[in-house]
Every structure is written in structure tokens, then in C-alpha cells.
Amino acid sequence: MKAGNTPKKILFVITKATGGGAQEYVYRIAKASKASGYSVSVAYGHHGLLLERLDEAGIHTIHVSGLDRDMRVGNDLRAYRELRAIFKYEKPDIIHLNSSKAGLLGSIAALGINNVRVLFTSHGWAFNEQRSWWQKTLLKIASGCIVLLTEKTICVSNAVERDMRWLPFSSRKLKLIPLGRMKCALYPKIEARENLIRDQIQKRWIGVISELHPTKRVDDIIVAFAKIHNLYPDTILVILGSGEEHARLLEKIDALHLKDSVFLLGFVQDAARYVLAFDIFVQASISEALGYSILEAGAGSLPVLATKVGGIPEIIENNVTGFLVPPKKPDEIARGLRTLLEDKELSKRLGEALQERVMRDFSIEAMIESTLNCYR
């Protein structure tokens, strides 16, 4: 597939070049765009795993100082000026913005620049996160501005699209392109466990793959596990991921006397390849656009217990392809875990049904093809 007479130069912008769903998305789309004949660059704020992967793929990267997740007037102004200078110097045909901060600053910085098309992918709206009412209001206004200032906003789930329908004329601006599961070879169960925690191979593993951010509510999973641990002493909780909550979660594990049964392993390269190490997969976010980690767990035929938020019900149908529980309810998580641990036939049936849905409805090829069509 070649770009033909379509625009030749694409500049992606993302706030953090770390690990996570938005970063995986940028990597996959940027790599596919390059393979289709486009000249591709990625501008980013924080350094991290994405930067390393882009370098390995031979994709040009540009650092934007001041571009970070938090709102700081001085940094934001500096990032805006740098983005505008980058846009003028690079002269891209298409600017593809990702993440809320990059979306707002990038869409404003692109104003008045001729012969450039600006697209934005929403990986979830910041106004759905746990914040004060006034912050939510400001973020909702800012999100609306991004949609209005860009040619098209790609929504990675029906929930993301639905949350912006309050905006006048939004139907002309919004384009639904569901996330697709990345394809990778999974480590067999024993090999995965040996690579992670060699001396716990015979236990039953409850697994989590998540950024350690307050929105992900990994602490709710730890509290839920504490409630059932004495009933299932042969079970451990294994958490893969890094982030700002790491130290606080270690303190909670210690306070609940779970140091011998909860393993916070930090960042693990290619974490998705380890899903077969788990017997059950858990996710407890209070806001989630769709959920790469759930797609990855589903591809491994794992039974999944997740919160009923955002786009997750588009993957998980309660009691059909997994269990859904309300957010911020550790008791409900604990109850669901008990059911899955005690009923192995149910767990197997839910995992198989989820695998079928993921393979059928969440193709990365379809995601890439639909996104490239937006560029043409």
C-alpha cells in the first residue's frame, strides 16, 4: 500500500514518550505510516520507552521542552512556542495530535499555518478523571476547543465519541476508529512465570498490567486481594507497570502485610507477552477509553474482571465475556475474584468468549487502515 498522491509528511505529537496505550497507538500508526511511504516524525515531551522504540524503527523524533501532563503556565507557553516553531520548520502535510495536553497546545500552535491538516486522536477525555468540578469544567471546555480546532477527532471507542456529543456540530468532527490489539508472540505460561518470579510458579496468579497512575486505581485491586488472601493462600497478585503511584502502593502493600503475596514488579519490557503467566486478569480504572491491556488479556483467553467505565463494556459483556464491577468498589472486586477462583469452568468459558470477541472485533489491521484513510 503506497501513499500515492496523498500528503507525504506526517508529524505526530504526544505529551509523554513513555509506555501506555496512547504511546502504543502512536508507535503502531507511525510505523505503519512510514511503511506506506510517508515521511514520519514524532514530537514528544517526556522521554521514555516510546522514544527508544521509535529510534529502533528509524523514525525521526523531536523533543519539546515544557510539554508535560500537568498544567503549568510557564511550561505550557514554552511548549506552545516550540511546537509552533517545529510546525513551521518541519512543514508537515498532516499534524496528528495525541493526548489532551498535546491536543490543546498543538491545535492552537497550528492556527494560521497554511497547507496543513490537523487531526487529533482522543484516548479518553481528561474531564472523566477524578478531579474537582472546576477542573472538570475547564477540561471539558478545552476538549471541545480541540475538536473544533482540528479537522477530525478520531475516537478509539464509542464511549469516547459519546462523551463529546454535547458539542454542537460534533457529528461532523468525530470519527470512530476502535483500537486494535497489537499482535505479539506470547510466552508460554511456565516460561513467562520463570522470567517474572521464578519461585512462585506453582501458585495461582492474579495479574495486572497498568500504568501506576491514580486514575488506574491499582490500590483498589490490592485492597480487594487483601480481603480474600487468607481464603486462597496459594494465590498471589502480580502487578506489571511503573508510574507515580509506585512508592505509595509499596507502602499500602506493606501496611496490609502482603509483601510475600503481592509483587509490584515495575516496568517490564513487552509486558503484553507475559499475559499467559496469569490465571485471572484485573483492571480497576475509574476512566478508560477502551483498554489495551484488556485486549491483550483477551487475546490470551484469560478471564477478565474490570470496572464498568468508558469503553470497557464494549469489550466486556458482564457474565458473557468477563465480569464488570462498579469503579472504586474493592468489595465488588473481591467478590468477583472469589467467583473466578472457585469456578474454573466459568473462568475458562469467560476467557474463551473474550478471546473470540477480541479476535473478531478488534483488529489492528482495521485500525491502521482506517487511520491511513483519514490521511488520504
Q: For 253-293, what is each residue's pLDDT tens digit?
A: 999 999 999 999 999 989 999 999 999 999 999 999 998 89
Specify the higher pLDDT residue, 6 or 106. 106
Q: Is the pLDDT of residue 2 over 70?
A: no
pTM of the shown model: 0.90
Locate 293 and state its grid cell: 491491556
Q: Is the pLDDT of residue 46 over 90?
A: no
Q: What is the mean pLDDT of the chain?
A: 94
323-325 β-sheet, strand order = 262-266, 235-240, 204-209, 280-282, 304-307, 323-325
Q: Is the pLDDT of residue 4 over 60?
A: no
Which pLDDT belongs to residue 1?
A: 41
Q: Is the pLDDT of residue 166 over 90?
A: yes
Q: Is the pLDDT of residue 94 over 90?
A: yes
When pLDDT is averaged across residues 201-222 and rounded to a whole number, the result is 96
Which pLDDT belongs to residue 183?
A: 78
Distance separating alpha carbons of residues 265 and 241, to the nearest angstrom: 7
Q: Is the pLDDT of residue 69 over 90?
A: no
When pLDDT is averaged across residues 323-343 and rounded to a whole number, the result is 98
Which pLDDT belongs to residue 286?
A: 95
Which pLDDT belongs to residue 5?
A: 57
Q: Is the pLDDT of residue 251 over 70?
A: yes
Q: Is the pLDDT of residue 305 over 90?
A: yes
